Each structure stands twice: as structure tokens, then as C-alpha cells.
Structure 1
Amino acid sequence: MTRIAIMSDVHGNFEALREVLADLDAHPVDAVYCLGDMIGYGPQPQECADLLRERGVRCTMGNHEQGLINIIYLRGFNQPAADVLRRTREMIDEATYQWLITRPKAIVEHGCRFVHGLPPDSVTEYLWKYRDEMAGVFSRYGEDVCFAGHTHDLMRFTSRRGDIGRFPLPEGYTPLAPDRRHLVNIGSVGQPRDGDNRAKYGLFDLDSRVLTMRFIPYDIKKTADLIVARGFHRGFADRLW
């Protein structure tokens, strides 16, 4: 059996990441992937980056990592988010900075594609913008299964001979039919926006093609209080609830 774990959008939320990885320890996998935005919004970017590297998580670049590179990319953020990225740069060491800004825009392994935004390799485009053009999205890459993040929401798209399906992605088991291609928005660890404030990640069995979504509680108050204590915009704390 080959099984992988997929997460996205940790956003400096160390409490959420720690609980996700603790849960993952009870479900052994062959590889773990994080689909970008390890930093931004949250109060512990260095701790999150350290833990992801310590655990050997394969990470793609997100738009928040890209925003660290230069002012051109930073202009794409609203002011509070840009302010957090500037503060984040001060909070991380040089080695972590270099690691974050050199993540690949996409990873293809185990017959799957992993990308932050829109496949094949966009870190900035949102899937929801293309919900009426999904046939074109599927045509841009060749893998049967693609995992994406960026929207902080949970959603699954399917394609079969031009027939496009759109489905919610619930907690628990979701078989990915072998006669269809699948594009899965895996949700967020550090700042879910799907109406459920638990941290989200997925386990995918490549043999049975069953995706299991795990919803993990964590100490939200601890993270929210630290966001405020470190001078970040209070809205990023309120959004966690």
C-alpha cells in the first residue's frame, strides 16, 4: 500500500500544524506534501518552517512565499497581509528565507500533481475563478489527480470526456473514481474558510484511490492571542474562529 498526506496553507499557525502532524503520526504515510503558503497571516513562521523541514515535508511555493521575494509580488496583497509579510521577513532567519523563496511552483510525484493555485503551476490564480472553464484547466496538465490549495476551502472537480463535475469534499472517505480525472482543493491547515475552524489535511491511498479528509481541532485561542500580541492585524486572529 502506498499512501501520501497532503496539506496546504499553514500560514504560520504552529498550533494547527503541530496537531496535524501529531494526528499524522497515527497514520503512517510514504510522503507528505504541503501546497504552499507556509507563512503569512500567522504568528510563528519560523517555527512552522522548521517543523516542516524537520519532518521532511515536500513543499511547493505559495503566493505568500512569492510575496517575500520582492516588492513587485508584494503589491498584489492587501495592506494588512503585506504588513504581515514584511514582519515575517524580520522574524525568519536567512536560511529559512532562502528555503521559502526557492520552493518549486509544482511537484509531480506518485502520478499526482501538487500545486498551490491553478494547475499546472500557478501560485496566484484561484480555482474558483475558473469554475466555468474547468475543461480548459484539466487540459493544461496530464496527471489523473491534482491537489491544490490557495482558496482555504474544500472542493473536488472531476473530468471525464469533457464532462465536468463539481462536488464538496466532506470529512472522511471520498473514493476518486478511476475512470475520471480529479482536481482536489485540499483546504487549509492554518486558516480554514469552509465554515469549520478545524485544521484540514488529506490522506490519499494510491492503490485504492480513496481520499480521507481529516479535520483536526487545535488550540485556536493560543494562536489568535499570539497574532494580536505580535502586532498583526486583529482580523487575522478573528478569522480563525
Structure 2
Amino acid sequence: MIQIAVFSDVHGNLPALEVVLKDIEQRGIRQKFCLGDLVDFAPWGNEVIEKIRSMSILCLMGNHDERIAFDIPVVPLSKHSEEETNARFIAIDHSKKHITKENKKFLSELPFHLKLNYKVGERHWSIQLVHSSLESNDTYLYESENDEVFENMLKDSRADVVVMGHTHLSFQKQLKNGGWAVNCGSVGRSKEENRLASYVIFTLDEEKITPEIVQLPYPIDETARQIKESGIPDYYASFLKNENVLIL
């Protein structure tokens, strides 16, 4: 039996990341992978990057990582309210100003996606890691997608499982062909009602792969307080506390 842990979308939230990493350690899981989006919306972008670097955790390049690494302009999104649009511009600009040159270089060198292969007994299992899809790190794929979308991803990557983040909404979906499409949710900016830090554990044995989504509480009030004391808009503190803020 082999176990691996996959997490995503930390978004500068060091307290949430520390809770997730501690839980993984306590379970004795040594294989850890991150699907990207280490930065933006909480004040510990550098600390999060340095934690990932110091632990040699393999990490993908999320769309926010790419934007900060290469100073890509922020484009307003039609789905966002005027309030969120303004907050988003300020928060991302905060990252562009505060993420160190060395950490931006680290982000710029992250892989776009990664395929894992594990041998358990006589069986090989292939696990495709993406931030959002094979072609893009900014595509929104939800549980409600037609199964064919995920089946094609598995076929194109020749994998048994495709694991993604980006939407901040976790799900696990077994397809007719026996493969899995799994979203591990978000560590630091969950859009689920409970706002818990989310990640996924995969247990691999010779007969099957079993995903388990784990969701953990972390000190949200303290995190929100420190957001309010930083140059990041209070909008994101209110979001973490689920105070009637709608973020799409």
C-alpha cells in the first residue's frame, strides 16, 4: 500500500498550510504534492513559498503563481462584482510588490503539470496532476461537468486519476471507465460553506485507488485579523470568515 497527499491553492495562507502539513505528517504520509497557487489574498506569500521550498514539495505553477512570476497584467473578470474587482487588483499588486525576486524566480520555474506512476505489487497506477486542466492553469472544471470532459482528460494523459484544484471546491468522481476525477479543494481560500482547509489522500493498493478528501479547521479569526493589518483588502478577511461575501 502507498499513500500520497495532494493539496492546492494555499493563496498565502500560512496558518492553513501549517495545519494541513501537520496532519499529513501525523498520518505518516511522506509523498506530498502541491497543485499551485501559493500566492495572493493573504499576507504570507513569501513564507508559504519558502515552506514549500524548504520541504522540497513538488509544486505546479498555478495561474496566480504565473501572474506574479512574470508580472502578467490583471484583467477584470465579468463574473466579479465591482467590489471584488477592486479588491483583487489591490491584493495581487500587494503580491507583486512583496514577493521577493528569489521567490518569483522559484515560481517561474515550476512545472505546468506532472504525471506520477506508482507500482504496487504487479499493478502500475498513473496519476495526472494539473492545476486546472492539461491545456490551461485557468480553466474552471466543476463536479457538474459532463463525465466525458474528465474521461477525455484521463484518455489524453493515459492516467487512472486526474487531480486538480483551482476552483476551491473539492469533489471526487468515479467515472464509468473506473478512473477518477478529483478536486482536492483549497488549503487557504476554500469556497465551500465550511471554509475548512482541504486536501486529498490517495491510498493505492494492487486492486484499487481510494481517494479521501480531508478538511481541517485552522485559526481563521487570527488569519483574518492579520489580513486586516496588512495591505490586503479586508474583503478577503470577510470571505474567510464567510461574512456574506460572495466570491466566484
Which category describes the TM-score, using the shorter chain as reference length? 0.7 to 0.9
Q: Does 1:47 align with 2:39?
A: no
- Give the equivalent residue in structure 2 for 1:116: 131
Unaligned ranges ≥5, structure 1: 162-179
Letter paired with 1:83: I
Q: For the residues of structure 2 that align with 1:153 and 1:60, how far apart are their CA atoms? A: 18
| Count of residue pairs brought into register by the alignment | 222
2:164 pairs, out of 139, 143, 148, with 148
Q: Which residue of 2 aligns with 1:27?
A: 27
Correspondences of 1:65-214 after superposition (within 5 Å): 65-70=65-70, 72=72, 74-75=74-75, 78-110=85-117, 111-118=126-133, 120-128=134-142, 131-132=145-146, 134=149, 135-161=151-177, 180-207=178-205, 208-214=208-214
Summarize deviations over 1:25-53 as a string: whole Å, max 9, x none: 11122411111111111111011111111
List alignment gaps of at least 5 residues for structure 2: 78-84, 118-125, 242-248
Change (3 A) 1:72 1:93: closer
For normalisation by structure 2, the TM-score amounts to 0.82
**Quick check: 39-48 or 65-74, which moved more?**
65-74
Q: What is the deviation of 1:136? A: 4.2
3-state SS of 2:167 partner: coil
**Structure 2: distance between partners of 1:36 and 1:67:** 12
Q: Find the counterpart in structure 2 of residue 176 from structure 1.
A: none
- Let me know the Cα RMSD of the aligned residues: 2.0
In terms of mean alpha carbon deviation, does 181-190 or 128-137 score higher? 128-137
TM normalised by structure 1 equals 0.85
Change (3 A) 1:197 1:130: closer
- Name the residue aligned to 1:219: 219
Shift of 1:70: 4.1
Q: Are the counterparts in 2 of residues 40 and 84 from structure 1 also a CA contact under 8 Å?
A: yes
Distance 1:112 1:137, change over 3 A: closer
Identity, in percent, stands at 28
In structure 1, the partner of 2:120 is none
Q: Deviations over 1:197-228 (max 9, x none)?
A: 21111111121522222211111011111111
CA 72–14 in structure 1, closer or farther in 2 if over 3 Å, else same = closer
What is the one-letter code of the residue matched to 1:87? H
> Structure 1, residues 56-95: CA drift from partner, whole Å, max 9, x if none?
2110011101111445453266442232222112222211
Distance 1:43-1:237 versus aligned 2 partners, 3 A rule: same
Q: Contact 2:69–2:107 (CA<8 Å) still a contact in 1? A: no
- Residues 51-60 or 128-137, more deviating: 128-137
